[in-house]
Structure 1
């Protein structure tokens, strides 16, 4: 067994490898050494009943910085924290605890602050349905009733079933992870709950407009909203990616976008590049590329109300959102024979998602493309 007690002892261990100190049956304090000059990390490793291990990061080791008992831990502090985790009474674990822990765990690898906020909000939203429910008292009937309540809360059953399915996936992941970490041996009622069938994964957002309808929508919008919609139409990007782009992200015919899948660079045709160049003008490199009418960046969700106004003015169905421009871009690219992998790379998605979402097209789109 590796000696983890001192910095000197840990410095002799192999880099990039997990070195464990057994704490009990199926549980261990793990130290992973980094390259010279970088601090290693402490983790709690717990064996899963179904095989394999669950790992929980405890903090950074005090290899290069003084221990503070918080995010930088000495051996004694890491051991105490690990034992404290193990001593948690499994019978008192609540659904809300598991969801909060899941959100914080996911936040460690979130690419943006917004993504982290979304994860925490989602955990709190689900947790409100089970504010004091313990894992040992949770029943499949409770979970099913909660899913039904999500469907009943909206006017589009197919879309709401998709929402319920996404929330169920998060609930299952959070409860299973927390139960594994704390060696919970009780019944896992959530495992048997099945997702809804016939659920549209995009719900209301899965609307594809004809090019004429897109033009009508853009023409009906006020100028700053029209610019935002036009940018979405030209790139197939997500609204947040365009809203977050700054002038310096545009270099020639390349535009850098940052979104939930990270940062990517897309290639623009000469006409599209010229349109963006005119919008950028001679403004400061850090200025928003497609700003609001006051020159500031679009806040999260700030486009939604003016887009609804434009949708109404254009005489389009009320379930049309800015996402319809992304759907239109992707569906037309596929209809032109652009390889799915190229489309997925351009719009920051996966081949599986593209194929699953756009496998079927409406009669209106087919008529527009092939008639």
Structure 2
């Protein structure tokens, strides 16, 4: 079996067994193709299963060093590529009996996640309420208002929101079922403002079938994320909002504003659909004044 054939089997397994997203499959597939190309150049032939089994940590370090020096990729990209190689070699070990000796003692480059940049509460409300003003038709205006109100009101990723169908339309007083990363489901509460904005948009659609996409593009298909991102980009330039006013910033804002208002970190973790609490801590920032007030009220020696 060639390296390329092994790569395809691993990607098929990720899609079938792990339900990896198309973005993950594309990224890991490209990462592994880069590594196999590196081995082909340095070994003079396309690697087969035997050549992969003979790899040592020095081979992977050489690949990562080349990516850093020749291709100028950053730590985050190299860390992801190392994660892809780990997954690939462990897959071969489990399914084809190869000892993953190349992984012994390997440590990835240190990656410091950037601090999230949320909007202020006023900016987030302005985006949700006024972003539709840049559209040319009432339907598109109502769509964008509903979409960005949903992102801020429920803390969704844009992919989660655009994956909803008419049958999933949020309703006040009912939990919204969201399918997130890793195909995991969670239930988030729905604010009346969110339900009203979505209902107003759906009403303009007439009577779409339950299986139709909730958010559609100009041709009736599921709305492309790039179109939604452009709508917000156009609006923020007209409104003088900062460059960090993006769809994902509304998710940051949702978490940050809840935490700043006294929300419990564990509850916010559940609402965001994070697997670990440390991820939630990276997504949220704490107002230093609020933190000091909490300490003053709660600590027995604060007085």
2:153 corresponding residue in structure 1: 234
1:182 to 78, 89, 96: 96
Which structure has the larger Rg over C-alpha atoms? 1
2:121 to 184, 187, 211: 211
Pair 1:142 & 2:62 matched: yes
Q: Which has the higher contact order (CA 8 A, sep 6+)?
A: 2
Work out whether residues 236 and 347 of structure 1, in 8 Å CA contact, stay in contact via their aligned partners in 2.
yes
2:8 corresponding residue in structure 1: 100
Work out whether residues 107 and 119 of structure 1, in 8 Å CA contact, stay in contact via their aligned partners in 2.
no
CA deviations 1:153-196 (Å, max 9, x no partner) are: 4xxxxxx42343233212112123214533335x8334433222
2:214 corresponding residue in structure 1: 289
2:28 corresponding residue in structure 1: 123
> Using the alignment, how far apart are the partners of 1:342 and 1:212 within structure 2?
24
Report deviation, 1:236: 0.4
Report deviation, 1:274: 2.8
> Using the alignment, how far apart are the partners of 2:259 and 2:121 within structure 1?
15
Work out whether residues 153 and 191 of structure 2, in 8 Å CA contact, stay in contact via their aligned partners in 1.
no
Aligned length: 263
Report deviation, 1:298: 0.7
Q: TM-score, normalised by structure 1?
A: 0.59
Work out whether residues 341 and 351 of structure 1, in 8 Å CA contact, stay in contact via their aligned partners in 2.
no
> Using the alignment, how far apart are the partners of 1:176 and 1:301 within structure 2?
35
1:199 corresponding residue in structure 2: 112
Of Structure 1 and Structure 2, the greater strand share is in 1
Of Structure 1 and Structure 2, the greater helix share is in 2
Work out whether residues 158 and 225 of structure 2, in 8 Å CA contact, stay in contact via their aligned partners in 1.
no
Work out whether residues 232 and 238 of structure 1, in 8 Å CA contact, stay in contact via their aligned partners in 2.
yes
Report deviation, 1:276: 2.6
- The aligned runs of 1:268-347 (5 Å cut-off) are 268-281=190-203, 283-284=207-208, 285-292=210-217, 295-347=220-272
1:349 to 253, 259, 274: 274
> Using the alignment, how far apart are the partners of 2:60 and 2:187 within structure 1?
45
Measured on the aligned residues, the alpha-carbon RMSD in Å equals: 3.4
SS at match of 1:264: strand
Report deviation, 1:207: 2.1
Report deviation, 1:125: 0.9
Pair 1:170 & 2:170 matched: no
Q: 1:180 to 1:325 in 2, by over 3 A?
A: same
> Using the alignment, how far apart are the partners of 2:265 and 2:284 within structure 1?
11
SS at match of 1:292: coil
> Using the alignment, how far apart are the partners of 1:229 and 1:258 within structure 2?
18
Report deviation, 1:211: 1.8
Q: 1:101 to 1:287 in 2, by over 3 A?
A: closer
Q: Which moved more, 1:132-141 or 1:227-236?
A: 132-141
SS at match of 1:265: strand
Work out whether residues 99 and 175 of structure 1, in 8 Å CA contact, stay in contact via their aligned partners in 2.
no
> Using the alignment, how far apart are the partners of 2:165 and 2:269 within structure 1?
23
Pair 1:161 & 2:75 matched: yes
> Using the alignment, how far apart are the partners of 1:317 and 1:142 within structure 2?
41
Report deviation, 1:324: 0.5
2:43 corresponding residue in structure 1: none
Q: TM-score, normalised by structure 2?
A: 0.71
Unaligned runs of 5+ in 1: 1-87, 154-159
Report deviation, 1:369: 9.4
Q: 1:191 to 1:320 in 2, by over 3 A?
A: farther
Report deviation, 1:240: 1.4
> Using the alignment, how far apart are the partners of 2:86 and 2:60 within structure 1?
12
Report deviation, 1:105: 1.3
Unaligned runs of 5+ in 2: 40-46, 136-140, 294-303
Work out whether residues 148 and 247 of structure 2, in 8 Å CA contact, stay in contact via their aligned partners in 1.
yes
